[in-house]
Structure 1
Amino acid sequence: MRIVVVGDVLLDADLSGGAGRLSPDAPVPVVDVDVVQRRAGGAGLVARILQADGHEAVLVTVLADDEASGLLRAELDGITVVAGPSGAPTPVKTRVRASGQAVVRFDEGCATPPVPEATDAMLAALDGADAIIAADYGRGVLANEALRARLEVLAGTTPVVWDPHPSGAPPVPGVAAVTPNLGEALRFADVQGTGTRAAAAAADVLLAAWGSRAVIVTMGDHGALVAAPGLLPQVVPAPRVDAPDPCGAGDRFASALAVGLAQGAAIDAAAQQATEAAAYFLASGGVGAMARQDEDVPQQLPVDGLDALTVARRTREAGGTVVATGGCFDLLHAGHARTLAAARRLGDCLIVCLNSDESVRGLKGESRPIIKQEDRAELLSALGCVDAVLVFSESTPENAIARLQPDIWVKGGDYAAEDLPEAALMSSWGGRTVTVPYIPARSTTKLAAALARVG
């Protein structure tokens, strides 16, 4: 799929290291920098995300002729770049991290530049796209009148997703969707308030002002609000993730939204896909993980276990205890809820290893499961005592346990150690297997039989 990204680019840099002492001349930490990571930012990051997803990414932008631009071009290697002259220095944003914690960011070359010219090659590169993303970072590319006129024409036949900026130009009329975050939406619309009600009020104002076919207000861990003319606003919930650094989430959202629209998805379905994509992007480490992949580190594990593995890792890093349990959880009932709640009280996070549909059929016969694995995982995740779900396809959970390496493995009921092969596995890294009381009066088999009688 050919996706064109048009907008402003910048160079992002992260300086990371330990901070075990204070400076002798001021009460500030001394960061012993041991890692320097650079990456393309702004529209360049959007293009890089699309390329990582396997799409043909074309970047239409302007570039300077300075040292920072050389570093930026290196970070754009492998992406088709159609660039005119910027007439201004390359903006560089550098973050300093001490022991994983952001300490300071300093910006260079970020003064407001003049609106750059659009070359004939830049305009021609917009044609033939399956979708276009206008990534405005307030540097003037999307204020160019020739580019704007061409985008307005193309919006009639090509999905255009416009990611606005407080210092940027307004979207052209007719684009498929504009994607401000909540703070931006309130500022653009001059609406006061917080939360969903304020987002809906701002979206109504912006739909009328911008003339777009939809406004999608992203609200962080509260999901996104989708507004379209003549329809009630729809709130798309976000998967629960623990991500201290939200950098790049908006770019991931815009890229996934554009792909969904190019594939023919309705705006609400595309917004759901984009919300989930942004959440998993952050759960997998965000832009930092993208940089590590460039350094040939092991690839991320499949998405079904990504959230669970991230929860386990972060709990350990914080010095907490990782608790896990497993089962089919077909027809979730009160006995399950009590067992899970008891397990969660044993540590600082609870991860449920869930038998896949194929695994349940192998264990219980072709008539099971009654509820498919996606719905079972969603029901479990909705419980306040469950922090993450890991789906596995084997008949027993040993492989899933080995991936997680929890500190405590919990079973409901009375078992001897020899009855549980996972007990020996747990002890191999110093983990323990324990049981919690099981409630025999509640069982999935009895519920299924009762449903069959009334069915």
Structure 2
Amino acid sequence: MTARRPLVVVGDVLLDEDIQGVAERLAPDAPAPVVDVRSNVRRPGGAGLAAALAAQGGREVVLVTALGRDPASEAVRLALRDRVRLVELPLDGTLPVKTRVMAGGRPLVRIDRGGGTPGEPDDAVRDALAGAHAVLVADYGRRTVGAVREDLVAAARRGPLVWDPHPKGEAPVPGARIVTPNAAEVSAPGPTGGAGRSLRDIAERGRELAERWRAAAVAVTLGERGVLLTRPGDGTPMLVPAPYRAEGDTCGAGDCFAAATATELADGALPEEAVQRAVARAAGFVAAGGAGNPELWRTATPARPIHAVEEDPFALAERVRADGGTVVATGGCFDLLHAGHVGLLESARRIGDCLIVCVNSDESITRRKGPGRPLNPLEDRTRVLAGLGSVDAVAVFEEDTPVALLSRLRPDVWVKGGDYSAEDLPEADVVHAWGGQALVLPYLDGRSTTLLARRAARSATVLRRAERS
């Protein structure tokens, strides 16, 4: 079997530094906060962060960037070692360093220093781009992209190319599959921007940019509102909302979105599919702490992305409890996922710090519902649940009720949807045994798997009669 070619990330690497502390007083000689420093964390930023995120899960990633012999460049090399393969252009000068002074988790000031000029690419750079399965351009306006522009033009003809632009950077090469500016870049006056911040104005501007850049699509990132996907011509744009409102440090969210979009396209997803999955990953990235999440840099190659559903629900519950959080669980067959399920899960997730869904096995459903059920096998049901942004983990039980499973999980809150009281729930007593609480949440009327199945059966009967007549 032919080895899979790597994803190649091209762009400007920065060294990001966060000085974390607390500010409880003002300086005596000026109205400025005094920050008592508690930690100083340094990590790759820019294209370096995008490459590290793309490499999660063990994907082979090559990072083409300019590095020098200065301490900041050495720090980046060390942090990215064993994560990505570096193919370097020479850097005349020093690597840019962005320092944020933080107090209480919020930035007070940012200090930028350093900078240099990339040298000419050599054969190793050209070979890396020629051998790319897909390309992500992370342009931070530091001229690395301009140095390899002709090679990027050729790469766009061979396979998927995602371009994350910068107001001071290069225009995307023709044929880019998706370009990912943010709303400020699209709306602000300048080489890429124009007036207007409404969705209508942004959609029109995105369409204009797609035509100007000769890109297949432009995905404008809108922060917590999600992403607006536009194409050349007069087609209707698609708004992809975030699956939930993520509270956390947004630093690096754009890099996460661009990296996720590129990896999804590399795996064969359509642009609409890639954008939807990338929006969900970016939301999870922010919720987990953004680029400053220590788990992101703790191991060289995490087994799965930090936003992904926790594979071990028991480990997740233990970790949340150890941090003083609230573990929420709910359960059911979830045979045909419908609006009632989604509303219940979203409401349940807002109650605590994680949501674990307990799912009946196939045999359990057959015993309860009778022959012909489940309509979807366990693997499909758990995969659909795991794809929801409100779900943090999925646990399966073989019994008719989840009582034994709950005794192991010991959630703080057990949630069900319906029109009965919490005390009528068969699981209420076991949850109360360790001080937990059973709750009932409102459920959308007229939504159930049984009703959907009956409706589908009636439709099938009508179609068969129509075919015979």
TM-score range, shorter chain: 0.7 to 0.9
Alignment of 1:64 onto 2:68: yes
Match of 1:122 in 2: 125
Structure 2, unaligned stretches of length 5 or more?
460-469
Q: Distance in 2 between matches of 1:322 and 1:11?
A: 37
8 Å contact 1:353–1:391 — kept in the other structure? yes
Q: 1:247 to 1:302 in 2, by over 3 A?
A: closer
Cα deviation for residue 242 of structure 1 reads: 1.7
Out of 128-137 and 66-75, give the one that drifted further: 66-75
Q: Deviations over 1:368-399 (max 9, x none)?
A: 34577479859998xxxxx6675432251665
Alignment of 1:279 onto 2:283: yes
8 Å contact 1:97–1:104 — kept in the other structure? yes
How is 1:32-431 mapped onto 2 (pairs within 5 angstroms)? 32-78=36-82, 79-109=84-114, 113-114=116-117, 116-144=119-147, 147-187=148-188, 188-230=191-233, 232=235, 233-289=237-293, 291=295, 293-294=297-298, 303-304=308-309, 325-328=330-333, 353=357, 355=359, 358=362, 360-361=365-366, 363-365=368-370, 367-369=372-374, 373=381, 391-395=394-398, 396=402, 399=405, 405-406=411-412, 413=420, 419-420=426-427, 423-428=429-434, 430-431=435-436
Q: 1:305 to 1:204 in 2, by over 3 A?
A: same
Q: 1:292 to 1:425 in 2, by over 3 A?
A: farther
Q: Distance in 1 between matches of 2:80 and 2:387?
A: 42
Cα deviation for residue 170 of structure 1 reads: 0.8
Cα deviation for residue 328 of structure 1 reads: 3.9
Secondary structure, counterpart of 2:92 in structure 1: coil
Amino acid at match of 1:180: P
Equivalent of residue 3 in structure 1, options 1, 4, 7: 7
- How many equivalent residue pairs? 439
Q: 1:427 to 1:12 in 2, by over 3 A?
A: farther
Cα deviation for residue 290 of structure 1 reads: 5.2
Cα deviation for residue 39 of structure 1 reads: 1.1
8 Å contact 2:17–2:42 — kept in the other structure? yes
8 Å contact 1:37–1:291 — kept in the other structure? no
8 Å contact 1:293–1:299 — kept in the other structure? no
Secondary structure, counterpart of 1:10 in structure 2: strand
Amino acid at match of 1:213: A
Cα deviation for residue 168 of structure 1 reads: 0.6
Match of 1:384 in 2: none
Q: Distance in 2 between matches of 1:368 and 1:65?
A: 65
Cα deviation for residue 69 of structure 1 reads: 1.8
Q: Distance in 2 between matches of 1:274 and 1:348?
A: 25
Q: Deviations over 1:407-440 (max 9, x none)?
A: 57567535769943x6444553x4333568999x
Amino acid at match of 1:249: A
Structure 1, unaligned stretches of length 5 or more?
382-386
8 Å contact 1:316–1:322 — kept in the other structure? yes
Q: 1:285 to 1:312 in 2, by over 3 A?
A: farther
Q: Distance in 1 between matches of 2:29 and 2:331?
A: 55
Aligned residues with identical type, % of pairs? 39
Secondary structure, counterpart of 1:259 in structure 2: helix
Secondary structure, counterpart of 2:170 in structure 1: coil
Cα deviation for residue 141 of structure 1 reads: 0.9
8 Å contact 2:207–2:233 — kept in the other structure? no
Secondary structure, counterpart of 2:127 in structure 1: helix
Cα deviation for residue 131 of structure 1 reads: 0.8
Q: Distance in 2 between matches of 1:350 and 1:199?
A: 35
Q: CA RMSD in A?
A: 4.5
Q: Distance in 1 between matches of 2:426 and 2:359?
A: 19
Q: Distance in 1 between matches of 2:37 and 2:275?
A: 39
Cα deviation for residue 230 of structure 1 reads: 4.5
Out of 122-131 and 430-439, give the one that drifted further: 430-439
Q: 1:12 to 1:427 in 2, by over 3 A?
A: farther
8 Å contact 2:382–2:394 — kept in the other structure? no
8 Å contact 1:353–1:400 — kept in the other structure? no
Q: Distance in 1 between matches of 2:156 and 2:388?
A: 42
Q: 1:442 to 1:204 in 2, by over 3 A?
A: closer
Q: 1:154 to 1:163 in 2, by over 3 A?
A: same
Cα deviation for residue 137 of structure 1 reads: 0.4
Q: 1:158 to 1:337 in 2, by over 3 A?
A: closer
Cα deviation for residue 322 of structure 1 reads: 7.4
Cα deviation for residue 362 of structure 1 reads: 5.9
Cα deviation for residue 259 of structure 1 reads: 2.1
Q: Deviations over 1:185-235 (max 9, x none)?
A: 223444322243122111121122212222222222332222333462333
Q: 1:376 to 1:398 in 2, by over 3 A?
A: farther
Q: Distance in 2 between matches of 1:50 and 1:28?
A: 39
